[in-house]
Amino acid sequence: MKLIIKNATTVRPCQAGASPQEQQDCLRQETVYIQDGLFSQAFAEDPDTLVIDARGLHVLPGLIDAHAHLRDPGFEYKEDIESGTASAARGGFTTVACMPNTSPVCDNETVVRYIKDKAARVGTVNVWPIGAASKGQKGQQITEIGLMKEAGIVAVSDDGAPVSTADLMRKAMTYAADFNLTVLDHCEDKSLAHGGAMNEGYNSTVMGVQGIPTAAEDIMIARDIILAEYLELPVHICHVSTSSGVELIRQAKARGVKVTCETCPHYFTLTDDACLGFNTLARVNPPLRRPKDVAAIIEGLADGTIDIIATDHAPHHQDEKDLEFDQAANGMIGFETAWQLAYTKLVKTNQLSLADLARVMSQAPNQLFKQDRGSLTIGRPADITIIDLSRRVTVDRFKMRSRSKNSPYHGMSVDSDIAYTIVGGKVVYHG
Partner 1 sequence: MTKLRSKDLLGMQQLEADEINLILDTARTMKQIMQSGNKKTAHLQGKSAITLFYENSTRTRLSFENAAKYMGCNTGSISTSGSSIQKGESLLDTAVTIDRMATDFIVIRHPHAGAPHYLAPRVNASIINAGDGMNEHPTQSLLDLYTMRDKLGRLDGLKVAIIGDISHSRVARSNLWALKKLGSEVYVSGPGTMLPVQFAQTGAHVCHRVADAVEGADVVMGLRIQLERQEAGLFPSVPEYSRFYGISPEVLRLAKPQALLMHPGPANHGVELPTEVYNCDQSVISEQVTNGVAVRMAVLYLLNIRRNS
User: Candidates 12-20, 110-118, 120-128, 209-217 — which segment interacts with partner 1 by CB under 8 A?
Assistant: 209-217
3-state class (DSSP) for residue 214: helix
132: amino acid identity, one letter: A
Residue from the set 21, 29, 206, 254 that interacts with partner 1 by CB under 8 A: 206
Task: Tell whether omega for the bond before 408 is within 30 degrees of 0, i.e. cis.
Answer: no
Cβ-based nearer residue to partner 1, 44 or 206: 206
Interaction of residue 84 with partner 1, rule CB under 8 A: no
Does 46 help bind partner 1 (rule: CB under 8 A)? Answer: no
Does residue number 322 form part of the binding site for partner 1 (CB under 8 A)?
yes
Number of residues that bind partner 1 (CB under 8 A): 20
44 near partner 1, rule: CB under 8 A: no
Cβ atoms of 356 and 16 closer than 8 Å: yes
Q: Is 243 in the site for partner 1 (CB under 8 A)?
A: no
Applying CB under 8 A, among 102, 204, 285, 363 the residue interacting with partner 1 is 204
State the minimum distance, in angstroms, from the CB of residue 323 to partner 1.
7
When binding is defined by CB under 8 A, the residue of 144, 326, 388, 415 that contacts partner 1 is 326
- How far is 284 from 331, CA to CA, in rounded Å? 4
201 binds partner 1 (CB under 8 A): yes
167-190 burial, b if ≥16 CB within 10 A, otherwise e?
A: ebbbbbbebbbeeebbbbbbbbbe
Is residue 136 part of the contact set for partner 1 (CB under 8 A)? no
Smallest distance from partner 1 to CB 199, Å:
10
Q: Is 192 in the site for partner 1 (CB under 8 A)?
A: no
- Three-state DSSP at 368 gives helix
Tell whether residue 77 is a contact of partner 1 (CB under 8 A).
no
Closest distance between partner 1 and the C-beta of residue 268, in Å? Answer: 23
Contact pick of 72, 82, 200, 417 for partner 1 (by CB under 8 A): 200
How large is the greatest C-alpha to C-alpha distance in the chain, in angstroms? 67
Give me the catalytic one of 189, 312, 383, 417: 312
Which helix H or strand E contains 98, and what residues bound it? strand 93-98
Q: Does 323 bind partner 1 (CB under 8 A)?
A: yes
Decide: residue 317, CB within 10 A, 0-12 exposed, 13-18 middle, 19+ buried: middle
Q: Where are the alpha helices (DSSP H) in 60-108?
A: 81-90
Using CB under 8 A as the binding rule, whether residue 202 contacts partner 1 is answered as: yes
Dihedral sign for Cα 419, 421, 426, 430, please: negative
Q: Which of 258, 278, 388, 396 binds partner 1 (CB under 8 A)?
A: 278
Task: Find the angle CA(215)-CA(221)-CA(223) to the nearest 5 degrees.
Answer: 105
195 near partner 1, judged by CB under 8 A: no
160 binds partner 1 (CB under 8 A): no
The residue type found at 105 is: V
288 binds partner 1 per the rule CB under 8 A: no
- Using CA of residue 60, residue 62, residue 66, residue 70, what is the dihedral sign? positive
Interface with partner 1 (CB under 8 A), residue from 147, 207, 233, 389: 207
Cβ nearer to partner 1, comparing 204 with 344: 204
Q: Does 209 participate in binding partner 1 (rule CB under 8 A)?
A: yes
- Comparing CB distances to partner 1, the nearer of 19 and 327 is 327
What is the number of other CB atoms lying within 10 angstroms of the CB of residue 191? 8
Q: Are 143 and 175 in contact (CB under 8 A)?
A: no
| Spatial separation of the C-alpha atoms in residues 239 and 312, rounded to whole Å | 8
Among 208, 254, 255, 256, binds partner 1 (CB under 8 A): 208
Nearest distance in Å: CB 204, partner 1: 7
For 245-278, b where at least 16 C-beta lie within 10 A, e where not — what string? bbbbbbebbeeebbbbbbbbbbbbbbbbebbeeb
Respond yes or no: is residue 312 known to be catalytic.
yes
Footprint (CB under 8 A) of partner 1, residues 210-229: 210-211, 213
Q: Interacting stretch for partner 1, rule CB under 8 A, among 199-207, 231-239, 254-262, 293-301?
A: 199-207
Binding site for partner 1 (CB under 8 A): 200-202, 204-211, 213, 277-278, 322-327
Active site residues: 312
